[in-house]
Amino acid sequence: MVSLPHPIQYQGSKRKLTSDILNFLPSKVERFIEPFAGTAAVSIAVAYNDISQNFWLNDLNKPLIELLELIVEKPEEIINAYADIWNTQNIDSISHYLEVREKFNHTNDPTLFLYLLARCVKGSVRYNSDGLFNQSPDKRRKGTQPNKMRKNIEGVSALLKGKCKFTYLDYREVLAEAKSSDFVYIDPPYQGVCGDKDSRYFSGINFDDFVLAIEQLNQRGVAFAISYDGKRGNKTFGIPLPKELRLKKLEIEVGRSSQATLLGREEITVESLYLSPNLLVEKSTGIESYINKAPKQLTHLKKHGKFSAVAR
């Protein structure tokens, strides 16, 4: 499998799932929309596979979208800025990280954000109740080397330059604009992961609003796929999406939990992918027989090199 460029470390990134997801997309789409773009991992793969050459990347996190825009449109500027920040790390790189973090919290400068994401624990974005970035540095690593970062940024820019619209709107504003000639990949933050007390909400997203927005996509005949919930061992994340949405649910095995393995437990992580009803109509009957197989079958088919032949 080709290794695609990925400059941004981000918990929740779908970079390891892109080849699975792409198996269920149409072979060509006029415009590819990601209302919850994060690192745009799926759009990068879509551009690489020439499924679309027109993208709308949206994420409520403004510095993240500004960072993506810099990477795509002004690669040299962000490459040099990153190298400057990275090279000023000295022996006391922890204090350096904390200084950069403080500066970022004052300025929201996307170039500082790239360094923080490269250097923080598990690339996992955490904010305190005042909205300030408060994730700690990973003490064992210094963050991606500037020359490696350069390659990743140049790779993404080569694939996406001049082809994207960048916005930092609420996802509903984006979905409201989607047309039947678009394809929308929807990857909201999972309920349960953010530890919100009210189970009807996940990271500020109301479940009923989300269902309503999806229902409206169905009514307008827009094709889409949603990465929504998942399972680790016996633990399930996310409230199931209502049957009335007529979505087809696929389960993709993404691996074993390393922590559980350390504790001597066999815990498999599974991510769900929901396909819109009209997307299923477009696909051949092969997809139906594929979906009906047990989730484990997916990994099995891939291991035996039969995966893409079934779905595409």
Among the residue ranges 101-109, 183-191, 209-217, 266-274, the one whose residues contact ligand SAM (CB under 6 A): 183-191
Among the residue ranges 34-42, 108-116, 207-215, 253-261, the one whose residues contact ligand SAM (CB under 6 A): 34-42
Residues 225 and 25 sit within 8 Å (Cβ to Cβ): yes
**Among residues 22, 33, 41, 46, the one that binds ligand SAM under rule CB under 6 A:** 41
When CB distances to ligand SAM are compared, the closest residue is 38
Write out the binding residues for ligand SAM, residues 242-281 only, by CB under 6 A: none
Q: Binding string to ligand SAM for residues 47 to 76, with x set by CB under 6 A, is what?
A: ------------xxx---------------
d(CA 23, CA 21): 5
Q: CA nearest 20: which of 309, 233, 307? A: 307
Q: Which one, 36 or 224, has the nearer CB to ligand SAM?
A: 36
Q: Which one, 59 or 138, has the nearer CB to ligand SAM?
A: 59
Q: CA nearest 148: which of 79, 195, 239, 216? A: 79
Minimum distance, C-beta of residue 280 to ligand SAM, in the bound complex (Å) = 22
Among the residue ranges 12-20, 88-96, 156-164, 289-297, the one whose residues contact ligand SAM (CB under 6 A): 12-20
Q: What are the structure tokens assigned to 56, written together?
A: 């709308």
Q: Which stretches of the chain are DSSP H helices?
A: 18-22, 41-48, 62-73, 75-87, 93-107, 110-119, 146-160, 171-175, 207-219, 258-262, 277-282, 285-291, 295-303, 307-311
**Among residues 171, 183, 224, 290, the one that binds ligand SAM under rule CB under 6 A:** 171
Rounded to 5°, the CA angle 57-32-200 comes to 65
DSSP string for 120-139: BGGG---B-TTS-B-PPBPT
155 belongs to the binding site for ligand SAM (CB under 6 A)? no
Minimum distance, C-beta of residue 22 to ligand SAM, in the bound complex (Å) = 13
Residue type, 86: W
Indicate the helix (H) or strand (E) that contains 235.
strand 235-237
Minimum distance, C-beta of residue 305 to ligand SAM, in the bound complex (Å) = 26
d(CA 185, CA 274): 10
Q: Which one, 110 or 188, has the nearer CB to ligand SAM?
A: 188
Q: Binding string to ligand SAM for residues 184 to 223, with x set by CB under 6 A, is what?
A: ---xxx-------------xxx------------------
295 belongs to the binding site for ligand SAM (CB under 6 A)? no
Q: Which one, 6 or 96, has the nearer CB to ligand SAM?
A: 6
**Among residues 9, 13, 144, 157, the one that binds ligand SAM under rule CB under 6 A:** 13
Q: Which residues contact ligand SAM (rule: CB under 6 A)?
A: 10, 12-14, 35-36, 38-39, 41-42, 59-61, 170-171, 187-189, 203-205
